[in-house]
Amino acid sequence: MQKHVFSLILAVLMTACTVLAPGCDQYPPGPAQASGAASGYTTQTAYPQQQTYQPLYPPRSNWKDFAPGTITYDFHYAATAPTLDLAEERWQTYLSRHRQIEDGFSKHYYIAARFELMRVYYLQGRGDKADAILRGFDLSTTELKR
């Protein structure tokens, strides 16, 4: 009886995955498949170049209610960039404008912005720049090296 219940639950979950999230079973080729000539892939990267930008966390719905030039407005303005190139420019502007960390709130936004810029570099295929940002973090003490 337990075996049948488990099988039924598994079947329902698998069906829900394909119905609610079409394409969830389609992944880009991994490094092993992408690098092999026998696999038919000619690219050297595991993932195709992404041109559109979507931040890790979606911006707040009321972000335009804040005054331009504030930490919150500038952060969400950078997060709504439509392309990776524009996102890179906006995150760099944000980080240069809000370099002075005054409290925990501004530190949280500053760290998140650095991670977003690092993500943009990785998505653009510029891992060297992303790695340089990552080396600037000391996550054991939550302190920032500049």
Per-residue pLDDT of 101-145, as tens digits, reads: 888 888 999 999 999 999 999 999 999 999 999 888 876 655 555
Task: Tell me which of 33-37, 56-60, 121-125, 133-137 is least confident.
Answer: 33-37
C-alpha distances (whole Å) from 132 to each of 15, 121, 126 are: 43, 10, 10
Residue 61 confidence (pLDDT): 80
- Verdict on whether the full-model pTM lies above 0.75: no
Burial class, 137, CB count within 10 angstroms (exposed 0-12 / middle 13-18 / buried 19+): middle
